[in-house]
Amino acid sequence: MTAQLNNEKKAAAMAAVKLIQDGQVVGLGTGTTAEFVIHEIALRGLRISGVPTSVRTARLAVTLGIPLADINSVEEIDITIDGADEFTPQLHLLKGGGGAFLREKIVAEKTRREVIIADSSKLVEQLGAFRLPIETIPFARGFVQRQLEKLGAACILREGFVTDEGNQVLDADFGLIADPAALAQELDHITGLVAHGLFIDLAAEVIMGKGEDVVHFTRPGY
């Protein structure tokens, strides 16, 4: 990671944290970008209830004194701030490099305002340069991989990695994805496939650091 991209992530994180209000239930993302947000929340002393998207995030939040809420005990999450591996101008996302995309997606779907923060390298015209993470139960891994290959993907097992739910991850190379929404629908129908890293119509906005500036993208119709 270059110093410039690191600074862009920090700038995006600081801008996003300004959207949080005391008393809110806040989804806490996973990964190096989201960690800037968690540190900033603690630094500002915001009084929130955090819903973590991974064990790693929960541990960091507790260390920094941020109180956590059980996702099953909250009716709605006010705002979630998370990162992405790629995003398009239409705010289609590819996520999952950190392996927490199942919980990230559950949190996103329960969130009123999903905000993605990113550095300028994450903006792409088409998703797919980054391999698409696929979470599968171990029992179905071979079957899921064959179904993905029928859809044109080349798959690699993420060796030595187990998700917080005890599942495995296949990193699938589909090439550049012309229609992410259509592919997401096909993946949703594969038995044994628990989650995939395509996030369609979930992000309300993206805050991207670019050089010394911060650029905002808003989902059409939001």
Q: Is 104 a catalytic residue?
A: yes
Q: What's the average model confidence in pLDDT over 67-75?
A: 97
Burial category of 206 from C-beta neighbours within 10 Å (exposed 0-12, middle 13-18, buried 19 and up): buried
Residue 171 CB contacts under 8 Å (≥ 6 apart), including other chains:
131, 132, 133, 134, 155, 156, 157, 158
Mean pLDDT of the chain: 96
Residue 99's pLDDT band (cuts 50, 70, 90): very high
Whether the predicted pLDDT of 221 surpasses 80? no
Share of the chain above pLDDT 90, in %: 96
If one looks up domain 132-196 in CATH, what number appears? 3.30.70.260
Give me the CATH topology for the region 3-124+200-212: Rossmann fold (3.40.50)
Q: What's the average model confidence in pLDDT over 153-158?
A: 98
The tens digit of pLDDT for each residue in 108-139 reads 999 999 999 999 999 999 999 999 999 999 99
Q: What's the average model confidence in pLDDT over 161-179?
A: 98
Residue 42 CB contacts under 8 Å (≥ 6 apart), including other chains:
64, 65, 66
The tens digit of pLDDT for each residue in 15-63 reads 999 999 999 999 999 999 999 999 999 999 999 999 999 999 999 999 9
Q: What's the pTM value of the predicted model, to 2 decimals?
A: 0.95
Q: What's the average model confidence in pLDDT over 64-79?
A: 97
Q: Domain map of the chain by residue range?
A: 3-124+200-212, 132-196
Task: Decide: 99 and 158 in contact? Cβ < 8 Å.
Answer: yes
CA distances (Å), 72 to each of 17, 76, 77, 108, 114, in order?
24, 10, 11, 14, 18
- Determine which one of 8, 35, 40, 104 is catalytic: 104
